[in-house]
Chain A
Amino acid sequence: MTAVSVRDIGKRFGPTTALQGVSFDFHPGEIFALVGANGAGKSTLIKIICGYYPDYDGEILVDGRPVRFSSPHEAYRNGIATVHQLIDQGVVPNMTIAENLALAELLVGEGAPFFYRPQRIARRAAEIAARMGIEHLDLDMQVADLGQSDRQLIAIARALATDPKLLILDEPTSSLSEREAERLFTRLDRLRREGVAILYVSHRLHEIERIADRVGVIRDGRYGGLLQAPFKVAEIVTAMVGDLDRSEDRVAVVPDPSGPPKLALRDLVVTPGAPPLNLEARAGEIVGVTGLIGAGKSELAQCLFGLRAPVSGQILVDGRPVASANAAQAIAHGIFMVPEDRAANAVVPEFTIRHNITLPFLRDFAAFFSWSGLIRHDAEKRAANRMIGAMGVKCDGEGAMIGSLSGGNQQKVVVARWLVKPSQVLLLDEPYQGIDIRSRHDINAYLRAHCRDRAVIVFAADLDEILEVADRVVVLNHGAVAGQQLVGAIDRRQLVHWASQAPETKFEGRVAG
C-alpha cells in the first residue's frame, strides 16, 4: 500500500537532462529521506511532485490513481502538502498563531466565509494545534514573537491540517539549532505513528540516519539506490558518490617543495569552537577541498577572501602573513575567489560578457594615467576576447549580454574574470553548480594549464567533481581537516569515512598514499 508513487520521472531543461527514469514509493507511516549531491536532481523531483513543473515525463500516482498536476495548488488539493526550506515563506509573521494555522481554509480556501470570524478561526486553529501537539503555545501570540522551531512547527501543522497523503519537508532543519531540530524529530515520530507519509529532504545525513525509515538516492539525475534502516552515514555517502572502487588514472602533480608555499594556514579557526586548521597549497597544484554540507568549506573560502574574520590563527601568502578585512584587500594580497551561486554572487545580469569579465580589474584598462578612471575600451575588448577564446565561451562575441549564455558558459565568464590577471591563490567555491559536463571540462582544462604560478583551491561537496580536477584531496569535517590524499592514490572508502565521521571523533590529519 503506497500513499504516493512516482514512476519513471524524467525532466529536461532545454538540452540538459535533469532527471531520468526515477521511481520511488512513499508509504503511509514512513519517513522517506531523499538525498543527493547539489545538482543531482533532488529539488527538481520535489518540484515535480508538488506541481511546480507541470511538464515532465513519467507519472505520479496518488493512492494508486495516476494524476497530473498543472499547478502547486492542484497538487495541494490532491493531498501533496509541502513545507519549503525557507520557514518565513510558510508563515505570516504579523498574524497570530491561530490565524496562521487556519489561514488556508478560512481565508482563501473553498467555502471560506466572507467575513472574518474570530471564534471560528480560534476553534479550527485549536483543532490543528492539538493534532500537531503544539497546544502549549498561546494561539493568540504573534508569529513574529516566536523562534524558528515554533514557526517551523506551525508551517508543518498547517500543512497537516488538510490531511495530506504526502507531507514534503524540504530541508526543515536548515535554520534550526540542534535542540530545535530534536524537538521537530519527536513531532515527526508522532506523525509517523499516526500514519502520515513523509518525504524528508535534507543535506544533514546524521539527521537522516537518526530519523528515516528508508533513504532514496538520486545521483546525476538518475535513481542511485534505496537503503533500508538501520543505515550508517557512510553508506548513504557511498550511495551518493557512487562507485567506490573506481580509480583515477591521473597522476598527481607534485609541486616544487622549495620555498614558501603560496598559501599556508597556521592553526586557523574559522568558526568559534572549531578545531584549528592547518593546510598548505603550492604553486602548480590544484587542491580539492571537500566535505559534507556544514563541514566548513564555504566558511573557509570566505575567510580566505576577507568576507569573514578568522577567530584565530594565521593566513600566509608566499610566506608573509596577510589579513584581509574585505574582498578588495584579499584581491590586493593576490587572493581571488570565484564565489558559489553565480546568479546571486557573481553575474551582473545587465552587463555584456566583456563588462562581466573585466569588472574586477578595470584599473588595468585605464587610459592616460592609472588614476584617470577612463577605460580604454579597445584594451578591454582584447582582454575579453582573449579570455573568451581561452575558456571556450560559446557566444556571439564579447558584446553579447551574459544573460543570453547557458549556465555553463556564464560560469566560464565569471571564472575568466579572475584569470585576466595573475594571482597567488585562486579559490573556486562550488564552481560546477548547475553547469554541464562539457563546461566543467573546459574550466578544469584551463585551470590545469594555468596553475603554474598560482595555487588553485577548488571547494566542492561532490567527490567526483573534486577528483576530476584536483591533485590533492583534502576532506573537511566540522571545520577541521579530517584527512588528505593525493589523486594517484585515492581510497574513496577512506575519503567517505573522513567526511562522515561523527563530530565527536578526534581527527588526526594525515596524508595517505
Chain B
Amino acid sequence: MSRKVEMSNFFIRYGFLIVMAASFLGLGLAQPSFWNGHNQFSILLGVTVYAILALGLTFTLVIDGLDLSVGSTAAMTVMAASYCMVVAEMSGTATVLTCLALGALIGLVNGILIVRLRIPDLLATLGTMFLIQGLQLIPSGGRSIGTGMILPNGEEAAGSFSDGFLFLGQGRLFDLVPTPVIFMLILAVIVYVILEHTRWGRVFYAIGGNAEAARLVGAEVDRYRIVAYVLSGLIASVGGIILAARVGRGDVSSGGGLLLDAVGAALIGFAVLGAKRPNAFGTIVGAIFVGMLLNGLTMLNLPYFWQDFIKGVVLVAALAFTFGLARRR
C-alpha cells in the first residue's frame, strides 16, 4: 500500500476525532473556563435529549429508513408525562411506563404504516409527526401543563411532579454527574451492544445493506423493520421523559428543534472512525461534538443566532467528508 493511500485511510478513520480533539484544545486555550469540569458536564447535559433521540433514530437509519417523528414523539411525551402527573395524579412509575408505552405505540404505528401499507418512510413519519404535534394539544385544551394549572372545567389541577420523577431530569450522582447524562451513556452502551455485538444488530445492518439478501437468508425483514421503528419511538419517549423531568412542566413548544439536532447528530456519526454507516458510537460522538462546539463558541461570545448556522456547517462538512472524500478510496 502506498504511503499516500495509508495517509488517506488514516485521515478517513481518525479525521473526525482529530478535528474534535483540536476543537477541544483550541476552545480551551481561547477560554480556559471551557475546560472546567462543571462546564464539561453542562455540555453533556445540554446534548442529552437530542443525543438520546438520535440513538433511537440510528436504528431506523441502520435499516435504511428514517424516523422524522422522534422530535414530536419526545414533545408529546413531555405533555403526556405532565398530564399524568399533574392532572391524572399518577405515580412516577406509572407515568414513566405510560410514556414509554405511548412512545412504543407511535413507533408501532410508524412501522405498520411503512411496512404493511408501504408508505415511504419519510412521508409516513412526516405524517405521524404532524399527527402527534396536533394530538398532544388536545388533552390540555391547547395549553401548557404546570402544577396548579386551571383545568377546562374551572378547577385547579391537584397533582404535581413527584420528586422521584424530577430526579430523572434534575438529579446529580455524587453531586456532580447529572442523571440524564448517565441515562444517555447507559442507553448509548445498550444501543452499541445491540447493533455491533448481537445477531439482531447484524440483521438490522444486513436489511439496510440488501433487504432482499436478508430475506433470502431467512430474516423476517418486515418484523425487524417494525421493531426498528418501535425502538425509535420508545427511545424518543425516554428523551421526552427526561426533558419533562428537567423542566418540570409540560410546555406546548418544548419539542422544537429536537428533530433536526437528532438527525444531525446521527448523520455526523457516519464520519466518526470512517464508519460510513449509522452507528451508536458515532451518533453520541456527533451529538457531543456539536454541543461542545456551541458551548465553546458561546463562551467566546458568539451570538446565539449563529448556532443553527454552525450546526449546519458541521453537518454538511461531515457528510461531505463521509460521502465525498471516503469514496475516493
Q: Which residues of A contact B (CB under 8 A)?
A: 305, 307, 326-328, 330-332, 337, 339, 344-351, 355, 359-360, 362-363, 365-366, 372-375, 377, 417
B210 within 8 A of A: yes
Interface presence of B134 (CB below 8 A): no
Chain A CB within 8 A of B217 CB: yes
> Are A345 and B197 also in contact (CB < 8 A) when A351-B206, A355-B202 are?
no
What residues of B have a CB within 8 angstroms of the CB of A350 in the complex? 205, 208-209, 276-277
What residues of chain B lie closer than 8 Å to A363, measured between beta carbons?
199
Residues of chain B contacted by A372 (CB below 8 angstroms): 198
Inter-chain contact A349/B202, CB cutoff 8 Å: no
Contact A346 B213 (CB under 8 A): yes
Q: How far is the CB of A302 from chain B (nearest CB, A)?
A: 10
Residue from B198, B208, B213 within 8 A of A373 (CB atoms): B198
User: Is B156 in the interface zone, CB < 8 Å from A?
Assistant: no
Which B residues from 178 to 210 make CB contacts under 8 A with A?
193-194, 197-200, 202-203, 205-206, 208-210
Complex interface: chain B residues within 8 A of A326 (CB): 215, 218, 220
Q: Residue among A326, A348, A363 with the most chain B CB within 10 A?
A: A348
- A348 pairs with B210, CB closer than 8 A: yes
Measured between beta carbons, the chain B residues less than 8 angstroms from A374 are 193, 197-198
A377 to B216 alpha-carbon distance, docked (Å): 23
Q: How far is the CA of A417 from the CA of B214 in the complex (A)?
A: 12
Cα distance, A366 to B197, chains bound together (Å): 10
- Name which residue of chain A comes closest to B207, CB basis: A348
Q: Assess the B206–A359 pair: CB atoms within 8 A.
A: yes
Could you say which residues of chain A place their CB within 8 Å of the CB of B206? 348, 351, 355, 359
CA distance A147 to B200 in the complex (A): 43
Cβ-defined contact, B210 with A375, below 8 A: no
Compute how far the CA of A75 lies from the CA of B194 in the bound complex, rounded to whole angstroms: 53
Q: In the bound complex, how far is the Cα of B192 from the Cα of A174, in angstroms? A: 47
- B218 near A331 with CB under 8 A, answer yes
Closest 6 CB pairs of A and B: A362-B199, A328-B218, A373-B198, A360-B217, A348-B209, A331-B218
Closest CB in chain A relative to B205 CB, distance in Å: 7
Interface of A is mostly: mixed
Once bound together, how far apart are the Cα atoms of A349 and B206, in whole Å?
Answer: 9
Which residues of chain A come closer than 8 Å to B213, judged between CB atoms? 345-348, 359
Chain A residues whose CB sits within 8 angstroms of the CB of B212 once the complex forms: 344-345
Known: A327-B218, A344-B212, A359-B206. 9 other contacts (CB 8 A): A346-B216, A347-B210, A348-B213, A348-B214, A349-B210, A350-B205, A359-B213, A360-B217, A365-B199
Give chain A residues whose Cβ lies under 8 Å from the Cβ of B220.
326, 328
The distance from the CB of B97 to the nearest CB of chain A, in whole angstroms, is 24
The one of B194, B200, B202, B208 that contacts A359, using a Cβ cutoff of 8 Å = B202
CA distance A326 to B217 in the complex (A): 10
CB distance from B213 to the nearest CB of A (A): 5
| Contact A327 B209, beta carbon cutoff 8 Å | no
Residues of B within 8 A of A328 (CB): 218-220
- The distance in angstroms between the C-alpha atoms of A135 and B199, with both chains bound, is 59
Q: How far is the CB of A346 from chain B (nearest CB, A)?
A: 5
Show 19 residue pairs from A and B whose CB-CB distance is below 8 angstroms, ordered by the A residue: A326-B220, A327-B218, A328-B219, A328-B220, A330-B218, A337-B216, A339-B216, A345-B210, A346-B213, A348-B213, A350-B277, A351-B205, A355-B202, A359-B203, A359-B214, A360-B217, A362-B199, A374-B198, A375-B202
A375 touches B216 (CB 8 A): no
